[in-house]
């Protein structure tokens, strides 16, 4: 947790604020994006260490965003973790198929959330 | 012949319609779940963050109110999860994913899921595994959910100092045991408590959604009211049976049996 850069993509402002505060307490640097387009731009400009990606986004679906990031040689190597309020078992396999390394479901526990993220960064 | 063909086509069409209906219902359930989960994330998370006092010390009243907000949010989340499970079982598409898994480990994990609740109520949890089964074949996740719902129901209705016990038995097929309900080998799991018990006339009804035997009790025994009906649906999905034996004031014994062949 030595100041790794996290790109946090979520269209719900309150949830973004919550995740950002938790991560900043833990010492992460947080870059925010509120939709798919912003997510793609920020990923290319800021070269984050990891991307937390909400799946339900207003413009481009999160799964599509993940695929685009995986196709781009510049962003291909960045691990993506799906951040989702979906709870259906079918969803989980689609995250992995889109190139995510795993997922964190919302609501998340504020204690386990940074630990889960740290695990994905290992 | 013609008539037979027609009825076949009708059947195919009906199945197709059912499928598309199921699909739209599954989508509907998933949307509700998403819409409710998103604000719950903020309610639970922000209250927890404040309770951690990273942004400054709280006085007693503030702590108390924040705890109320946080625990209400968490209760709502448990209810939402149960409700989504039940809606999926009733209207959506649910498949069983069979695998071989350790019975004792599954029991252990289900026990862990109610451990905090039992400790808080000073109810002891015990296991008497007589089945001698190392592994069983079922949907592990759903098997643990059945056990979780029975255990949390038992803990809920057992007074402090009481005991909840899980017992298991292996039932051979009828060639070995003519009284067996099933033609194939089964595992039988019981959750026995020495709680308040259930009147005979209520013993069937408690498996219905939101049915609580005595509404004056529901203040003391707050819960989602969905646990037992979920357990029943999940047992039914495994082609099994679930029932209760109980005596008022002495306790209840919930038993489910599931065949071990897929």
Domains in chain B: boundaries: 2-91, 99-259
B159 touches chain A (CB under 8 A): no
pTM of the model: 0.74
Residue identified by tokens 């973790």 is A81
Give the C-alpha separation, A12 to A86, whole Å. Answer: 14
Q: What value does the mean pLDDT of chain B take?
A: 84
For helices B103-121 and B140-156, angle between their N-to-C axes, nearest 10 degrees: 30
B23 touches chain A (CB under 8 A): no
Nearest residue on chain A to B70, alpha-carbon basis = A109
Average pLDDT over residues B58-72: 95
Pairwise CB contact (< 8 Å): A15 & B33: no
Q: What value does the mean pLDDT of chain A take?
A: 90
- The CATH code of domain A5-121 reads 3.40.50.2300
Nearest residue on chain A to B73, alpha-carbon basis = A107
Average pLDDT over residues A94-117: 88
A2 touches chain B (CB under 8 A): no
Three-state DSSP at B184 gives: coil
Give the C-alpha separation, B63 to B68, whole Å. Answer: 9
Nearest residue on chain B to A110, alpha-carbon basis = B45
A103 touches chain B (CB under 8 A): no
pLDDT value at position A97? 87
ipTM exceeds 0.85: no
DSSP H/E element including A16: helix A13-25
What residues of B are in contact with residue A13 (Cβ under 8 Å)? Answer: none
The number of CA neighbours under 13 Å toward the Cβ of B147 is 33
Pairwise CB contact (< 8 Å): B38 & A22: no
The single-letter DSSP state of residue B205 is G
The most distant pair of C-alpha atoms in chain A lies apart, rounded to whole Å, by: 35
- Tokens representing residue B104 in the block: 């004792």
DSSP H/E element including B170: strand B163-171
Share of chain A above pLDDT 90, in %: 69
What CATH topology corresponds to B99-259?
Heat Shock Protein 90 (3.30.565)
């Amino acid at each position: 947790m030595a100041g790794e850069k996290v790109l946090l993509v979520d269209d719900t402002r309150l949830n973004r604020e919550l995740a950002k505060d938790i991560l900043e307490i833990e010492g992460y640097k947080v870059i925010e994006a509120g939709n798919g387009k912003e997510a793609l731009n920020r990923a290319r400009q800021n070269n984050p260490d990891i991307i937390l990606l909400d799946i339900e986004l207003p413009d481009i679906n999160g799964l599509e965003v993940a695929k685009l990031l995986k196709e781009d040689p510049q962003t291909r190597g960045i691990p993506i973790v799906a951040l989702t309020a979906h709870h259906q078992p079918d969803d989980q396999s689609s995250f992995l198929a889109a190139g995510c390394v795993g997922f964190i479901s919302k609501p998340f526990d504020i204690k386990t959330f940074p630990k889960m993220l740290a695990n994905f960064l290992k | 012949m013609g008539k037979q063909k027609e009825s076949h086509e009708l059947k195919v069409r009906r199945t197709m319609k059912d499928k598309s209906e199921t699909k739209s219902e599954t989508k509907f359930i998933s949307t509700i779940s998403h819409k409710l989960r998103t604000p719950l994330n903020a309610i639970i998370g922000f209250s927890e963050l404040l309770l951690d006092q990273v942004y400054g010390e709280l006085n007693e009243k503030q702590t108390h109110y924040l705890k109320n907000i946080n625990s209400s949010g968490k209760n709502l989340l448990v209810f939402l999860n149960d409700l989504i499970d039940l809606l999926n079982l009733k209207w959506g598409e649910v498949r069983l994913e069979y695998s071989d898994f350790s019975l004792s480990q599954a029991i252990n994990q289900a026990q862990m899921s109610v451990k905090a609740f039992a400790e808080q109520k000073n109810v002891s949890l015990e296991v008497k595994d007589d089945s001698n089964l190392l592994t069983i074949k079922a949907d592990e996740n759903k098997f643990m959910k059945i056990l979780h719902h029975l255990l949390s129901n038992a803990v809920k209705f057992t007074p402090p100092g009481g005991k909840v016990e899980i017992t298991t038995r292996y039932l051979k097929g009828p060639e070995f045991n003519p009284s067996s309900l099933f033609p194939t080998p089964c595992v039988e799991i019981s959750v026995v408590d020495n709680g308040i018990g259930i009147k005979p006339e209520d013993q069937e009804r408690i498996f219905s959604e939101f049915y609580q035997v005595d509404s004056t009790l529901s203040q003391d025994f707050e819960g989602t009211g969905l646990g037992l009906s979920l357990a029943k649906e999940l047992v039914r999905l495994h082609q099994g049976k679930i029932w209760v034996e109980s005596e008022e004031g002495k306790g209840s014994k919930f038993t489910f049996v599931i065949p071990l062949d897929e």
